[in-house]
Amino acid sequence: MSRRLHIEVFRYNPLDPNSEPHMQSFYVNEYDSMTLFIALNIIRDEQDPTLQFDFCCRAGICGSCGMVINGRPGLACHTQTRDLPDHIVLHPLPVFKLIGDLSVDTGTWFRDAGARIEAWVHNDHEQFDPKAEEVRMENDLANEIFELDRCIECGCCVSACGTARMREDFLGATSIARVARFYLDPRDERNEENYYQVIGNDQGVFGCMGLLGCEDVCPKHIPLQDQLGIMRRMLAIHSVKGILPKRVLEKLQHKGCCHESH
Amino acid sequence: MDASTLTLHVRKNGAGVGRLDVMQMLSGVLLIVFLWAHLMLVSSVLISPKLMNAIAWFFETTYMAQVGGPLIGLLIFAHFLLAARKMPWRAQETNAFVKHSVMMHHKDTWLWLAQVGTALLILVMAATHMWVVLTDLPITAAKSAARIQSGTWLPFYLILLPLAEIHVGIGFYRIGVKYGYITKANRKWYQRLENYMMGGFITIGLLTLIRFLFLTV
Amino acid sequence: MQIIYSDLLCIGAGLAGERVAVEAAKAGFNVTCLSIVPPRRSHSSAAQGGMQAALGNAIMGDGDTPDVHFADTVKGSDWGCDQEVARIFADTAPIVMREVAHWGVPWNRVEAGVHTYYKGGKPFEAEEKLEKHGLIHARAFGGTAKWRTCYTADGTGRSVLNTLDSMCLRYEVGIHDRTQAETLIHDGENCLGAIVRCLKTGELKAYLATATLIATGGYGRIYKATTNAVICDGGGQIAALDTGLVPMGNMEAIQFHPTGTVPTDILVTEGCRGDGGTLLDVNEYRFMPDYEPEKAELASRDVVSRRMQEHIRKGLGVKSPYGDHLWLDIRHLGEKHITTKLREVYDICTNFLGVNPIHDLIPVRPTQHYSMGGIRTNRDGAAYGLKGLFSAGESACWDMHGFNRLGGNSLAETVVAGRYVGKKIVEFLKGHTVDFKQSAINDAHAKVAARIMEMTKSSSKQESAIQLRDEMHSTMMDNVGIFRNGKDLQKAVDTLDELIDRSKNIKLQGTAIGFNPEISLALRIPGMLKLAQCTAYGALMRTESRGAHTREDFPERNDKDWLNRTLAYWKEGSTRPELKYEDASPYFEIPPGERGYGGGKIIAADIPEEKLRLPKNSAEKKKAKQTKKAS
């Protein structure tokens, strides 16, 4: 069973003028149920204390440890070494600003995207009445909204997106799925025109080229491309309102988190 | 003109990009339909050259070829312009995308590069094909066969046929994906459909070419 | 040195930190949140189960009121909590749940009609009322009389955190992530902010603020086997303790969660047992009903953990290379239930353990989970000892949990305390001005800079931070676990004495320009050792068993001598805290009594008559409220 893993890690410290981007090899003995979280910590504890990487919950819930593992963006903490060959190559996520080695700045990127799509429920927040009963909602709808709230903002989908790699102002599947979450939520009072202003452009939903990288790497298995499709169709229809007859448009319209049958 | 064209700090209103996207999609759909229909019509030679001649005669006497032909040419060009908005024109973009495709070893990502490549070749080759055919009306099985048998045109069509069918097949699949008709649940099924259709049309096309090659003029 | 000024500085941007930030930002104050990780990665996001609030919408929570919730909380705390605070909590919780619903939390809702639920692994049917259709639903959690835990599938923490973070965006709260507060700036009387290390560049910056909030969560990382995230190293508590002025409350009160998985220590939610999961031993025999006939798997966490440990000690645990464990069985809940309502559990099992919970048993053992103790605050969330310093959430000892907290109460505490303390901070900010003394800022900065310089440059030092951490881990695991006794605790205290001495000689192994991850650990270890010592020493001195604190040599709950709260102060240069004690509660709305589970003897206290009543003004208020309701 016990293999000796050859782990090749991208090293670069942008703050050190003498640092050159390069790959560095480490060797680690594999144990049962070993994950990349365990392996990288062994490397840092025993071989190189300056190695930079990010872990937080180490349980696949927080999204800190996105990195490119043998070419595919994924979460290191829930990648078991037994599922990988004995030569493992680790790169930082592209698109995001490199902090050092495997560590990238996703926080700034996501906050910027959040501000651009105005990622909050738009209603009159001051109007909350502490004595009143909560506004009712169907449980199925609550579940659908939560389905999209499960995004952990690990950045894997953005790194796996060809458009995002080419054009740094592209909002990515994660942001558009976030808008889809608000579109689904009756508490958000924005209308289609409001959403159009936010993502009805080449930086938003019309920039997507349907490469499906986002959906294929999403560690939470969120149906991202489906959301992109729903939003694209909604906003495309919105843009030709008044040209095509209303009845045709309504037929094409489609809302929901997961797919109802066509 | 609205304020947003004077300064970037006023929010852009209006339908612009959405309409462009719809037009790109619609022009694509029309071309897909056209190409498949075109292939079916040409392949009528497999049944009999007379049938093909009759179909060609019908399209010419109704002036559909004379008018429709150039229109299709325009449509192709318009589709190219619309879709080219997404193409990696800057060296930096091409570089990033190629590197990305190599890193990801992910089929759908590679398919897009294939689509960009085929698009550029088709633009030139389809124009050539149309020029040759439409400047030498009427279309007859004999004239087509002569062209194929002349030597230089056979390799030309052997390249153009798969390029066009691949581009159209991928395009068909990608429109479904982008507009949310092909979903996580039915993606596998559509991928298979796309492969079968591409294979099927290329086979029919090849058979047609072979028929022309061996048709006695 | 860069200096950044705000009205309120929140150290920590999890649920409690962001809830306070939103409250202050809504009131028009300038707020900055510091966070080691981007806020949505805070450990709050990992909380799966839910938040307790007596809404009484679910049929199984029918007739629930804040009074029942309050009683459950007090019993759960083993009468160690501050009853005034527990009352504030139980009364406000329903409002807060509705408020976050208004902001966008997709709580699961009541669906009218007959549903199949599980209790103790057995299915039963119950009919949800039509008039409650669409209101916030609730599930069962341990130690409660009613089903009152509001939830969003199994990602409650995630969805509430997303919502609060979106409100921070909405109200333009400044978020400075990848920053670590290293020390508080204070003038001996007022807290003036913090010296902060940027985790992108390694640079030190001064953040000045009129009010400073510590909401950094727990300090579970002093244990090796903990469900806490890597960042839960007690940074906030350390900064407060290091002032020498602010005490930690009840540091010995550490909760172990019954279902940490083996070997990765990742938590699977109490929702598993709430929904009907059972615990099995090596013979796949369900043993909990033998110990706790009535509540079985759903007794409070301290009881279940203790019973599991007891059972393992009888040799009935499952042997594994990672130590003995027991089984959690949720197979009978069925594929649909497991892959929807317990999906996070399903993911954890398949991704981290290679176990499929639909067909296989899940290996579990009690694992360090929650720290009831922390920075002692008054009921307004203001820390003892420094003006302008506040704390909320797990980092605080507000003290509604006493010696054991109920599942679902801590997650609810973050937002309930966040709202309450937030309002108090707004009041404080409105009526307070503070002078920022340059000397205080420079002193604090010099202290941190000197520490970094010493561990980087000094040649006479040779201790490794990693080595010290590992020794602390094994000491705490072996001697300050679920079952404690005087001998082991003494051993732990002695070892920690030595480790604290050695921690003055930490030397870095490598060097890096800019941010160096090794410095983060090296800066943290001395403080973590102090927190560990507060825990061990407090546990050694508390010669009774209460809640999660179980002394084999003092098995009875001793209300006569120990109905109080430990306050640990740290004087610089010392290796042990200075312990003081204060009354557990200003008054006892519910006098100390039997919990109804867990067993054990109680040595009764003589509590003066006037402390067994509500104080006059709050009793009158309550009466007025009731008459108003009646009319």
Domains, chain B, with CATH or none: 22-214 (1.20.1300.10)
**Which residue in this structure is represented by tokens 């910056």?**
C205
DSSP class of C50: -
C39 pLDDT higher than 80: yes
Q: Are A120 and C170 in contact (CB under 8 A)?
A: yes
pTM over cut 0.80: yes
Check CB contact under 8 Å for B180 and A229: yes
**CA dihedral in degrees (C161, C166, C170, C171; nearest 10)?**
20
pLDDT digits (tens, 9 = 90+) for A55-97: 998 888 899 999 999 999 999 998 988 899 999 999 999 999 9
Residues found in chain B: 217
Check CB contact under 8 Å for A162 and B109: yes
B123 pLDDT higher than 70: yes
Q: Strands of C248-249's sheet, edge to edge?
A: C396-397, C374-376, C248-249, C564-569, C578-583
Chain C adjacent subunits, 3+ CB pairs under 8 A: A
Nearest to C107 by CA among C134, C74, C88: C134
Check CB contact under 8 Å for B18 and A229: no
Give the DSSP H or E segment for A195: helix A192-199
Check CB contact under 8 Å for A130 and C95: yes
Check CB contact under 8 Å for A239 and B105: no
The pLDDT of residue B1 is 47
Which of B5-14, C330-339, C421-430 has the lowest average pLDDT?
B5-14
Segment 49-68 of chain A within 8 Å of chain C by CB: 49-52, 54-64
pLDDT digits (tens, 9 = 90+) for A239-252: 888 777 777 777 77
Q: Residues near C358 by Cβ (< 8 Å), separated by ≥ 6?
A: C331, C334, C335, C338, C339, C346
Using DSSP's 3-state secondary structure scheme, residue A235 falls into helix
How far apart are the C-alpha atoms of A262 and A38, rounded to whole Å? 46
pLDDT digits (tens, 9 = 90+) for C602-620: 998 888 888 888 877 666 6
The pLDDT of residue A218 is 95
Tell me how close the Cα of B171 comes to any Cα of chain A, in angstroms: 10
Q: Looking at chain B, which residue has its C-alpha nearest residue A208?
A: B178
Residue C82 dihedral angles phi and psi, to the nearest 5°: -85, 110
A125 pLDDT higher than 80: no
**Considering CB atoms only, which of C26, C159, C175 is closest to A146?**
C159
Give the right CATH number for C254-369 from 3.90.700.10, 2.60.40.10, 3.40.630.30, 3.30.559.10.
Answer: 3.90.700.10
Could you tell me the pLDDT band of residue A40, with boundaries at 50, 70 and 90?
very high
**CA dihedral in degrees (C111, C113, C116, C120; nearest 10)?**
80
**Which residue in this structure is represented by tokens 């090794």?**
C518
The pLDDT of residue C320 is 80
Say if B95 is an interface residue toward chain A (CB within 8 Å): no
Check CB contact under 8 Å for A166 and B93: yes
Interval C185-204 mean pLDDT: 95
**Binding site annotation covers B129?**
yes
String of DSSP letters for C193-237: EEEEEETTT--EEEEEEEEEEE-----GGGSSSBSS-TT-S-HHH
Question: How do beta strands C362-371 and C254-261 pair?
Answer: antiparallel
**Domain boundary assignment for chain C:** 1-108+137-253+372-630, 254-369
Q: Which residues of A touch C230 (CB under 8 A)?
A: 55-58
pLDDT digits (tens, 9 = 90+) for C510-562: 888 888 999 999 999 999 999 999 999 999 999 999 999 999 899 999 999 99
Task: Count CB pairs under 8 A between chains A and C.
Answer: 202
Which tokens in the block code for residue C510?
């490598």
- Using alpha carbons, list the distances in angstroms from residue C265 to B166, C229, C268: 51, 10, 9
C506 pLDDT higher than 70: yes
Q: Are A201 and B17 in contact (CB under 8 A)?
A: yes
How far apart are the C-alpha atoms of C110 and C610, rounded to whole Å? 43
Which tokens in the block code for residue B210?
């072979």
Q: Cis (ω within 30 of 0) for the bond into C263? A: yes
Q: Residues near C555 by Cβ (< 8 Å), separated by ≥ 6?
A: C545, C600, C601
Say if B91 is an interface residue toward chain A (CB within 8 Å): no
Segment 64-83 of chain B within 8 Å of chain A by CB: none
Q: At what angle do helices A139-149 and C156-170 cross, to 10 degrees?
A: 70
Chain B adjacent subunits, 3+ CB pairs under 8 A: A
C237 pLDDT higher than 80: yes
A260 pLDDT higher than 50: no
Residues found in chain C: 631
The pLDDT of residue C294 is 83
Q: Say which residue, B3 or A87, is predicted with more confidence.
A: A87
Q: Which residues pair with C389 in a beta bridge?
A: C212
Residue C606: exposed, middle, or buried by beta-carbon count in 10 A (0-12, 13-18, 19+)?
exposed
C301 is catalytic: yes
Interval C40-62 mean pLDDT: 92
Q: Residues near C38 by Cβ (< 8 Å), separated by ≥ 6?
A: A106, A107, A110, A111, A153, C175, C177, C178
Q: Which residues pair with C581 in a beta bridge?
A: C566
Interval C263-267 mean pLDDT: 83
Check CB contact under 8 Å for B178 and A210: yes
How far apart are the C-alpha atoms of C379 and C586, rounded to whole Å? 11
Q: Are C408 and C76 in contact (CB under 8 A)?
A: no
Residue C268 dihedral angles phi and psi, to the nearest 5°: -110, 140
Using DSSP's 3-state secondary structure scheme, residue C562 falls into helix
**Considering CB atoms only, which of A80, A120, A138 is closest to C170?**
A120
**Which residue in this structure is represented by tokens 């909030």?**
C213
Interval B79-103 mean pLDDT: 92
Domains, chain A, with CATH or none: 4-104 (3.10.20.30), 117-253 (1.10.1060.10)
Residue C383 dihedral angles phi and psi, to the nearest 5°: -70, 150
How far apart are the C-alpha atoms of C224 and C365, rounded to whole Å? 14
Say if B18 is an interface residue toward chain A (CB within 8 Å): yes
Interval C168-194 mean pLDDT: 95
Q: Are C145 and C76 in contact (CB under 8 A)?
A: no
C141 pLDDT higher than 90: no
Q: Residues near A82 by Cβ (< 8 Å), separated by ≥ 6?
A: A30, A33, A34
Q: Which of A139, A151, A185 to mutate to test the interface with C (most CBs of C within 10 A)?
A: A139
Q: Say which residue, B212 or C395, is predicted with more confidence.
A: C395
Check CB contact under 8 Å for A149 and C158: yes
Which of A198-202, B1-5, B142-146, B207-211 has the lowest average pLDDT?
B1-5
Dihedral sign from CA coordinates of C187, C191, C193, C195: positive
Q: Residues near B5 by Cβ (< 8 Å), separated by ≥ 6?
A: none
Residue C222: exposed, middle, or buried by beta-carbon count in 10 A (0-12, 13-18, 19+)?
buried
Q: Cis (ω within 30 of 0) for the bond into A73? A: no
Does C1-108+137-253+372-630 carry CATH code 2.120.10.30?
A: no
**Binding site annotation covers B167?**
yes
Give the amino acid at A194. N
Choosing from C40, C87, C301, C542, the catalytic residue is C301
Could you tell me the pLDDT band of residue C158, with boundaries at 50, 70 and 90?
very high
**Considering CB atoms only, which of A58, A61, A185 is closest to C230?**
A58
Q: Which residues of C touch A107 (CB under 8 A)?
A: 37-39, 175, 177-178
Q: Looking at chain A, which residue has its C-alpha nearest residue C96?
A: A130
Average pLDDT, chain C: 91
Tell me how close the Cα of C12 comes to any Cα of chain A, in angstroms: 14
Interval C91-106 mean pLDDT: 95
